[in-house]
Amino acid sequence: MANVVWVSWYAAVLRQDAFAAEVARIAPMALRYGASQYRVQVSNDDRYKITQMSWFASKTDWYRYWEGPEMIEFRARNSGRYQIPIVYGWTEEIAAGALGPEVPATEPETQPREPQAAA
């Protein structure tokens, strides 16, 4: 499975919406550096906490993205919109799943089944 990098951004007071939009705009850039997917989430419990996730096969690709010109410019341009330090972590994804259109969700049976006679 892929490795996931979690970046925990924490927006400055009253700048969370604008900063979250900026993170959402820069996150797809990871795909140009070898990421297979990305996600950006805003916490429902703490609206200032923004989590950026990127799936990379190697740390080298991650660091090319993180230290690349786009991310350096992004951090400089938004320096007043987030708190430092920026915390990120490299994790190994060991399981994942999703319910897709080819696997429809089934409702539990509401009527009890009739007992079957033993053969």
Phi, psi of 12 (to 5 degrees): -75, 160
Predicted pLDDT at 111: 67
Of residues 116 and 18, more confidently modeled: 18
Q: Each residue of 2-56: pLDDT tens digit? A: 799 999 999 998 899 999 999 999 999 999 999 999 999 999 999 999 999 999 9
Please name the amino acid found at residue 34. G
Q: Each residue of 70-85: pLDDT tens digit? A: 999 999 999 999 999 9
Report which DSSP code applies to 11.
B
pLDDT, average across residues 56-76: 96
Report which DSSP code applies to 68.
S
* pTM of the predicted protein model: 0.78
Q: How far apart are CA 52 and CA 39, in angstroms?
A: 6
Residue 60 pLDDT class (50, 70, 90 cuts)? very high
Residue 110 has pLDDT above 90, yes or no: no
Residue 104 pLDDT class (50, 70, 90 cuts)? low
What number of other Cβ atoms are within 10 A of residue 17's Cβ? 11
The architecture CATH gives domain 3-92: 2-Layer Sandwich (3.30)
Residue 102 has pLDDT above 90, yes or no: no
